[in-house]
Amino acid sequence: DTAVSQTPKYLVTQMGNDKSIKCEQNLGHDTMYWYKQDSKKFLKIMFSYNNKELIINETVPNRFSPKSPDKAHLNLHINSLELGDSAVYFCASSQERRNTIYFGEGSWLTVV
Amino acid sequence: GEDVEQSLFLSVREGDSSVINCTYTDSSSTYLYWYKQEPGAGLQLLTYIFSNMDMKQDQRLTVLLNKKDKHLSLRIADTQTGDSAIYFCAGRVSGGYNKLIFGAGTRLAVHP
């Protein structure tokens, strides 16, 4: 059973489009995250939600909007996609005050 | 804020030991992690160490932490071709919420 699952795994889309990446975790965790990995493999946190509440919001363009309908889901919606948004987006989850953070398999986004 | 640095490449012969090094700047980091990323795959949590520990061993993996020098290392004994991957060091930012700051990753190549 996949603990943190993301869909889609691959997404190729044109500039200016709006797209969403979905994430679900079945670990019973109360905290979820979105990280971005650029073409040089550098990983950086974008957002974090704890019990559906936004707790980390790094310097990310407001074209990116996370949505957490419940503790097990954290979706990432991106408006007006730009070439520079091409990256791998990783969802992750953890239990607050616990030390292990589990990542999904990643969603490869290519904007053309 | 926290900054994490790693050397970018390491090449070893199959059967030898690999040592991947990492330095960090935030002395209040409570946990330090090692993640593995195989080509085209997600991030796999390998191990982590609490800041009050000097060493942690888990099968072929040994983590050493020198808190005074803010230096973390991952030793892989009897390195196999399946160990070829990018290894990321990450520190958990003090203050909670499990925000991880990642290094740039060390690309380990294992050759016969």
pLDDT in tens, A31-79: 999 999 998 889 999 999 988 888 888 878 899 999 999 999 999 999 9
Residues of B in contact with A31 (CB under 8 A): 97-98
Contacts of residue A12, Cβ cutoff 8 Å, sequence gap at least 6 = A110, A112
C-alpha separations of B82 from B23, B39, B86, B90, B110 in Å: 25, 11, 12, 22, 8
Give the distance from residue A78's alpha carbon to the nearest chain B alpha carbon, in angstroms: 21
Query: For residue B23, what are its two tokens?
Result: 């330095």
Instruction: Give chain A's length.
Output: 112
Q: What is the pLDDT of residues B73-88, one digit of tens each?
A: 999 999 999 999 999 9
Size of interface A-B (CB pairs under 8 A): 59
Indicate whether A1 pLDDT > 70: no
Give the distance from residue B47's alpha carbon to the nearest chain A alpha carbon, in angstroms: 9
Chain A: residue whose CA lies nearest to B92: A99
A62 close to A37: Cβ distance less than 8 angstroms: no
